[in-house]
Structures are given as C-alpha cells and as structure tokens.
Amino acid sequence: MIPPFHVEGDDEGHFYALATVQALFRTSREPIPSTVVLYYSPSPEFSRYSIQSFDADAHANLYSRGPDYSETVEAALIDFWECHDLPAWAWTLFPASATGEFAQAEHAVAYAQARAGFVRALYGPRMRRHTFNSLGAARFFDPPPGGFHPGDAMADTDENREIMAAVIAAMPDEDDADE
C-alpha cells in the first residue's frame, strides 16, 4: 500500500509524505501490520513533522505530532524513536515517483528542502547500522548495571532549568503568530 502523499488537515494544514516504515501497530488485541508515514508540513500553524499510521486497507490508526520545541527533522526522528520505537535508520524515502501535486507552489520548494534535510539526517544512522550489522562489529558501550535511566525531568535542578530555558527561548512568540 502506498499511503497518501498529500493530506490536508484542519485549518488549511498541508502535510506531504517524506518517508515510510513498516511496523506493527500495537493494540489490546493483535498487532496490526501498518505503514507509518513521516509527514512534513510547510503550514505555519502546524508542527513541521508528524507521523500517521495506516493499515493495509488505508485506514488511519495513529496520528502523532512531532516536537514543538524544535523544527528540525533530527529532533522529530529522535522523538519518534523514543516515543514510538521507530528507529531513525529504519525509515525509507517516500517514492519520488509517487509524489503528487502541491497545494501551493511554495510548498514544492519547502518540500524539496525538507526531503534533502531528511536524507542527510538518515544517512548517518543508516550507514552506521549497516556497517555494524555487516561487519558483525561489537558496540563500544553497554548500559550500566540496571540499565540507562533518564533524569527526573520535573526535578528542580540546574540542568532542568537550562533545558527548559532553551526550549522556551526556541518557542515562537505568541504575539508573532498573529502577524
């Protein structure tokens, strides 16, 4: 199944397919074989990146916004890996032959730039995974005893204050959104 290239969302949001990955959508019953699509949106009021999952009958079974704290494809890939177990190296480009019309001419230019950025972001993880797998190379690090543990994101620490300050500084000013 080739999922839709262009999806029009609410409030004139436009989303264009950049990449796909085959996965099993978890349910309380049996997993559903699905095609997950990484969409790029040039629409100003929407996250730059999001994912949508489709079953074999093209019914959507999940939509997830990308990060609002960063418009980079790298941040989206990290978020989707962490939140949805979709490794960056597993994505494949949406077929160029299946791309369709753009709602606006400037969307085609923005899409080409987003696709080029995605390809650059995909190159490193995919090549590293291929190299490790094909050479049977051992990893340099293992988790410490008990595994890796994230810091407490809600604790009052210097690190968390620095992280939050950087995120808040990167967020668009609400006054700018009205212009």
pLDDT tens per residue across all 179 residues of the chain? 788 999 998 888 999 999 999 999 998 899 999 999 999 999 988 999 999 999 999 999 999 999 988 889 999 999 999 999 999 999 999 999 999 899 999 999 999 999 999 999 999 999 988 888 888 877 788 888 998 888 888 899 998 899 889 888 887 776 655 55
CA distance 124 to 18: 17
* pLDDT tens digits along 60-110: 999 999 998 888 999 999 999 999 999 999 999 999 999 989 999 999 999
pLDDT at 75: 93
CA distance 127 to 124: 5
pLDDT at 174: 64
pLDDT at 143: 86
pLDDT at 56: 92
- What are 65's strand-pairing partners? 50
Residues in Cβ contact with 102 at an 8 Å cutoff, skipping those fewer than 6 apart:
6, 14, 16, 108, 111
Closest alpha carbon to 107 in 24, 52, 46: 46
pLDDT at 135: 87
pTM: 0.83
pLDDT at 176: 55
